[in-house]
Structure 1
């Protein structure tokens, strides 16, 4: 709104506007040299287009320019023509190897040259007294930082992703006001100059992804203002003992190498295949009184390296130690403010986990114990705030103990020895239950008394009783299952009104229903014919109203799991609030996933109960012409090539009018979603 008001002041002569951002206006002004002193801000992005080149002489008359934002724009000529009143220079994709000497920037406060081709920032730097922010991120050819002696008031230095950067100039030690240094993913950087550790104002230091960075100086403790230190995925092997002098340190991240994103092998395989650094901590962390976050995942921590006083960090709110093979843990009962605790894939046994006293942490909200070796757990009722409990792939766990009534999410996929569950009769806040691939599980006491959940995943639980299965499906046919219900099975429940083989069913809504339809319950039976390497397969539901000529598509936010132990029943409820299906309408419902997950049967039931609250999924609407049937028996339709906005349909029908099967179109959509 404000931009249009500015533009309306001089619609015929954009060179007289105070701000220029419309590409056509900016291009005309720079091409015609029609800029005036009225212009104070100018922005132009040529990303993805031909790199047009403009002369710097176009800026001769733009003498009051204070903000210049260019993205992948070429300028040729003398840079002295640019306004010396410039305060913010943003030029992504800066094309030169260094900033020219005639680039007069006496008043500049911020320079943002991300994705530049700089090899050297300046050959002969001018004094930039007012510069506070320098961002050269992703300048892949930059080998060393600039000389900081001419930037005395710099406060923020951002060199993220400068993958060739191997040296930070020692003059950085003279920047008394420097508060933030971000060197993330500077792969060639091995160290920081000694002078750096003398800086008293540094609050944030980010070294994550500097895979060759080996040492933090013993002088680290002199950085008295440091609040955040992130050094994940580096070569650091020892934390200097002086770290305990950092009384203001709040965030400390020292995670090791992340596991490759693959479902081919388990995490433990990668931990053996890929060598990981060994990180040695000082014997005590007392002194880090302000520490709120400690992340030391995948650091190959031996038991002897874990400070015994870890449980004395009274301000700690988040602790992540997953991926370390631990035989024992210190007592954590003193972490009274702890909200997040991740001890996944630590090979913890019953003996190792017993003395931790983590079962009585009053503020704990999230607990991840997945991938461990213990056989049992004590009652978790002493964790009143616990909302998320993750126990995936605890293959020795026989029983899940009593749970706090506040729990909202329980994930215990792949617990192949799990036989017993606690009572769910008081679990009124439970929203998500994941128990896939728990073949020994038979029953879940009290599940029928709990409130309807948003998601239940129990595919691969091949021994659950038919009574439990029917209870879940029938009770929650009308529940607000946002992500759906996944259960083992090979048939649609008997109470569904409309059932058909394959992935599509057509029906006419009974005329006497009128406008009272509350929702549709859709149920399918699908199978998995092979393990997929793609994590992006979703269930796609299409609702086509051939009476009202409307089409909708919805994709619930959960993905089917690769389970080949039998058929899987998936059921979801879809609100009629947007579908607007009424009595007498001819409706077609189609469901498709991917070639790996063929749909064997489909069923639809009508929900009429007005007492049910509707919390529907978000639907996408498409023109009916994409799905118009021409032959009911064969399910053929007339379709346009690809999807378009409603305004484009008429014009595209003339260009793309061909016949294809409904399944061909749906398959194409599924493939687009997977790629």
Structure 2
């Protein structure tokens, strides 16, 4: 993370100060006085009713203003936390504080700072619960409030007068903006110019004098001259000839004419906003450069002939409206961050990007002419953040996005991407997603993303039919060439169904109407259920159960198998609870997280008789799996089918249900099983064991499987000694549910 001092030197601020406040409380008094005091001191201050352009998107304008402000002043008042608008702004402010080095000053106006630091007040939770505010959004607000309240600021209640507070605030702002004015005596002595001895020229007048008079010396190591876009200046390249030790160069809207070989050879950081040439001359030596920032340039191409820049780690060409293609990356082997934001004519990203083994960030936001991503991008093992928001011509993300094994952040909102890739839910490290209308932490949006896999083609009529020759408790929906006209009329019937089977020609998305139907059917909104007695749920939903504590004695395995075998003969559904640190160790496929993908073995001698699914999770005593498991999805990638089973169905599985599952487990078929949990527990590991035409008294060694093309996160176990030691936690429970034909972890 960049330090605040480094960030301020790299970023171009639009405003000096942004004021975040609740208008109802403070607009006509404190904030009005604060704004006047800052303006009178020459501080360029953003106030929402003063700077916003008419007809513009209000939210977008405000967020852009926050990003473009060097300092944010947050005025906390009694009704501040009742404004979702204020809180959304605060989340953005604290994000900029963390990642952009933005300075944040909190001011507590008639509120207690301790209240905001603690935030245990019941009214805060109740207010947003009553207004149906998303719980994830509330958590982000509370985190931002706590962070801001812990920063140094002013408590107006403890100050002698408002004018005193305002004077202190303005003074601190000027210090941060480096605008402190010295008190100069009427007859100053000894203030002759000594710039020839200075090593860093950051002040505007000093830098301008040196460049105009060509008085630079070899002592100068850093130089910054920032002009406005309408006030360009021209300097001869020979001006830099004597600056042999120059390492840091920042020029904004400065034009250098002449041979670029006179520019220093040992530059480490080049920030040249508004670079005026159509390409970077080869005579401009950059072999030692670590960061190149050429925002708002006139570049059409970056280099005519690629240079070997082994030390380059950061390349920012954002807002270069004439740039048509990215540079050749083959000679930038150590590049870590590539920022090509808002390059409207960029239509090509060079294939050599796939060779960048250290690349961490790709930002292509608002590159509206870019139609596709090179497939080699999906081979970047180190990539942590991919941003293609606003790329309206990019209409697809490939399934091999799962190969981006380090990816933690994906932004593809407002792009042309309409289909969520199936494989994304198998990404091990993905943390934040903004895609196809879903935004938030992956653990919260993954269940909803699953629904977006299904979407009918418009113009035709949907229909439902019985599953095979069975009763109407399971229906098959063939919607590969249908729309949803009239389907809402069947909602009452669908809500009573035990399962739903979706058949399609390809992987597709679900429209909002059908998503609502399946949400109602599968209870997949993942809201917290009302707490009920665990014992009551156990007695109501379980036909038979047996509690087994294995301890560390492996001799009881035989007894365990006998008990399971006996129970399966006498009842339809059985639960077996293995509390504490016990676990079955004869599982065939193991995967981290809440899904597992595998290929069904080819076995012509015997058919599948059953399947056992196990899950290892951590939870609190208040969170039971029965309260958290919402539904189970069985996805067959070979047949393009999805079987969906809701919570109540899993608890009372029967032969009809099993036949539906079995039909989706054909030999050599590519299958993924997804357990959709709500809030309340963390899934550590999922495992599956297929039972063939033999006794459930399983061999201590799992059968030797043929080599399978399993996903990167699936481990085919050939040894009974599965080591789960690293996953053990004090509150961990391990639960296995065996059903006559399908065993599921449901409690």
Q: TM-score range, shorter-chain basis?
A: 0.3 to 0.5
Q: TM-score, normalised by structure 1?
A: 0.40
Flag the structure with higher helix content. Answer: 2
> Greater relative contact order (Cα 8 A, min sep 6): structure 1 or 2?
2
Q: TM-score, normalised by structure 2?
A: 0.37
